[in-house]
Amino acid sequence: MADEAKAKGNAAFAAGNFTDAINHFTEAINLAPTNHVLYSNRSAAYASLGKYSDALSDAQKTVDLKPDWAKGYSRLGAAHSGLHHYDDAVSAYKKGLEIDPNNEGLKSGLADAQSAQARSRGPAVPPSPFGDAFSGPEMWTKLTADASTRGYLQQPDFVNMMKDIQKNPSNLNLYLKDQRVMQALGVLLGVKLSTRMPEEDDEMPEASTERKRPAETEHVKEEKRPEPEPEPEPMEVPEEEKEIKEKKAKAQKEKEAGNAAYKKKDFETAIQHYTKAIELDDGDISFITNRAAVYLEMGKYEECIKDCDTAVERGRELRSDYKMIARALTRKGTALAKLAKSSKDFEVAIEVFQKALTEHRNPDTLKKLNEAEKAKKELEQQEYFNPQIADEEREKGNQFFKEMKYPEAVKHYTESIKRNPKDPKAYSNRAACYTKLAALPEGLKDAEKCIELDPTFVKGYTRKGAVQFFMKEYEKALKTYQEGLKLDPQNQELLDGVKRCVEQINKASRGDLTPEELKERQAKGMQDPEIQNILTDPVMRQVLSDFQENPKAAQEHMKNPLVMDKIQKLINAGIVQVR
């Protein structure tokens, strides 16, 4: 069934129907959750729809399941590139090339990622003569703290000018005529700049006009020497800025005290210190995220979530490091997962973890996301559990089976299993349906699950033996039937199965197989690991040589039951023929 869903997914992908492809691959994953190829294919479909976070999750799952598969790293690199995580993308492609150095797809992906990485960093900007005055969130903090510039932050044109200057400080020259920019520059540099602009009725002297004093005559044409400019007054640091610096220093000390209390598990004291730090300096969201961590340890999940929301909102206002934003989101997701009581509750936590990963891909966050998804799936199964409905669905399946409508029967047996995954009867009945539909691998899997759930359920052995017989694995089928007979020695279905297997095994021993049957059996036998081991065993190779060339030695070998058991296996597989 998984292969069928996978084939449908591949067809939909090839046709450009990526949403349908995702649905089919998801169905296949539910049937075969450890198949790395299915996660890889779904990752490609997500990427085609621009859902790079989902693509990243599937790509990481692919690599986790199959770390030595180069294509998984190709998917991982593509997802990182889509999220603009170019450093991670380059790393993923390089890991893939370590496994498969000649893979053209990985080489091409690496080249594209490195190119995008270089573009994202942009050309080097010459150092600003104003140092770091315009860099980072500190610029906005200073402008907000100063009463003379606080009001300008409500004016969009001023904010846009400051953003442009922050992006490229050399653009400052474009805005020096704006009184507000000059005022802001003074605040950032810690100096008082004259920002008075001439009023409309002020007269400005023209460059070519020279006023003369009345005492001067037209004959006096002495050139006036420019008067020396007055020396600038010494700069003074505004009191407000001094106060802000002092508060920041005190806030850091409170944070350090909070960290020390946290390490000692003195959570109440840690809360007090972090709260004081927040009151002193609201421009550092690490104080808020630290307090959220304490609330998380104390089991006060609602308070933790509230702090995390505040940290994210404030962090975006201050343009804080994306890693800090991701940390706040991860802690919020952890708190939500702790509060979750249903599968729906986990959906919210999963969404928050995914948002955190878009900010910064952190292994701890990814681990928590996987744990939340696993817990959600388990809860869904528990919520869906209903033995009564399971029995009703199984009976519907039985009715369709009697009517030889096997696909419909499979559908109802599958629903029965979802409603009660511990019922061996539903697996046994579905195995019978799969056998009728010639879906032998799926039938064998269901029969083995049936025996696993209830090793005393005899019907499970008849189902498994029948599947193995149809797969022409007669020795394995015989062994399965014999195990069932230990539980019910008089079971006619098991006895008939033994009889059929013995007939087929003896047919090979007598050499009564047709050339087509012999060829088919030999091909199947060569795929059996046990047969391969016998043929590569140096001792058995000598034994086989003696049977052909040294009759006396062959007679001695026939006295060894272990050797004869292996010879019989080779005969049954059609590898050795008795004439």
pLDDT at 522 over 80: no
Average pLDDT over residues 507-528: 71
Token look-up 């091909």 returns 523
pLDDT in tens, 536-551: 888 888 887 877 778 7
pLDDT at 410 over 90: yes
Average pLDDT over residues 395-410: 94
Q: Could you tell me the pLDDT band of residue 122, with boundaries at 50, 70 and 90?
A: low
Helical ranges in 510-549 per DSSP H: 515-526, 529-536, 538-549
**More confidently predicted of 61 and 564:** 61
Res 207: pLDDT? 34
**More confidently predicted of 446 and 196:** 446
Res 200: pLDDT? 35
Average pLDDT over residues 346-352: 94
pLDDT in tens, 44-69: 888 888 888 999 999 999 999 999 99
Res 230: pLDDT? 42
Average pLDDT, the chain: 83
Residues 286, 15: Cα–Cα separation, whole Å: 49
Token look-up 């001792």 returns 539
Query: What is the chain's length?
Result: 579
Residues 402, 392: Cα–Cα separation, whole Å: 16
Q: Could you tell me the pLDDT band of residue 574, with boundaries at 50, 70 and 90?
A: low
pLDDT at 214 over 50: no
pLDDT at 504 over 90: no
Whether the predicted model's global pTM rises above the 0.95 cut: no
Average pLDDT over residues 125-154: 69
pLDDT in tens, 4-46: 888 888 888 877 788 999 999 999 999 999 999 999 999 988 8
pLDDT at 425 over 50: yes
Token look-up 């019907």 returns 459
Phi and psi at residue 173, in whole multiples of 5°? Answer: -60, -25
Res 332: pLDDT? 96
Where does residue 342 fall: left (phi above 0), alpha (psi -120 to 50 degrees), or beta otherwise? Answer: beta
Res 212: pLDDT? 38
Res 443: pLDDT? 95
Average pLDDT over residues 183-193: 75
Nearest to 487 by CA among 442, 511, 456, 510: 456
pLDDT at 406 over 90: yes
Percent of the chain having pLDDT more than 70?
85
Token look-up 């272990």 returns 562
Residues 472, 521: Cα–Cα separation, whole Å: 8
Residues 231, 1: Cα–Cα separation, whole Å: 88
DSSP structural state of residue 474: H
pLDDT at 135 over 90: no
Res 579: pLDDT? 54
Helical ranges in 146-285 per DSSP H: 147-150, 156-167, 179-189, 239-263, 267-280
pLDDT at 528 over 70: yes
Q: Could you tell me the pLDDT band of residue 239, with boundaries at 50, 70 and 90?
A: low
pLDDT in tens, 434-491: 999 999 999 999 999 999 999 999 999 999 999 999 988 888 999 999 999 999 999 9
pLDDT at 124 over 60: no
pLDDT in tens, 73-107: 999 999 998 888 989 999 999 999 999 888 888 88
Which range (45-59, 145-159, 222-236, 276-290) has the least confidence?
Answer: 222-236
Residues 308, 338: Cα–Cα separation, whole Å: 15
Nearest to 74 by CA among 47, 53, 49, 50: 47
Give CA separation, 191 vs 188, 195, 241, in Å.
8, 12, 11
Res 216: pLDDT? 39
pLDDT in tens, 272-322: 999 999 999 888 999 999 999 999 999 999 999 999 999 999 998 888 888
pLDDT in tens, 265-279: 999 999 999 999 999
Q: Could you tell me the pLDDT band of residue 153, with boundaries at 50, 70 and 90?
A: confident
pLDDT at 338 over 80: yes
**More confidently predicted of 394 and 180:** 394
Q: Are 416 and 440 in contact (CB under 8 A)?
A: no
The tokens of 321 are what?
Answer: 């490091």
E strand intervals along 304-353: none
Q: Could you tell me the pLDDT band of residue 511, with boundaries at 50, 70 and 90?
A: low
Token look-up 């929301």 returns 309
Res 529: pLDDT? 83
Nearest to 505 by CA among 496, 515, 513: 513
Q: Could you tell me the pLDDT band of residue 369, with boundaries at 50, 70 and 90?
A: very high
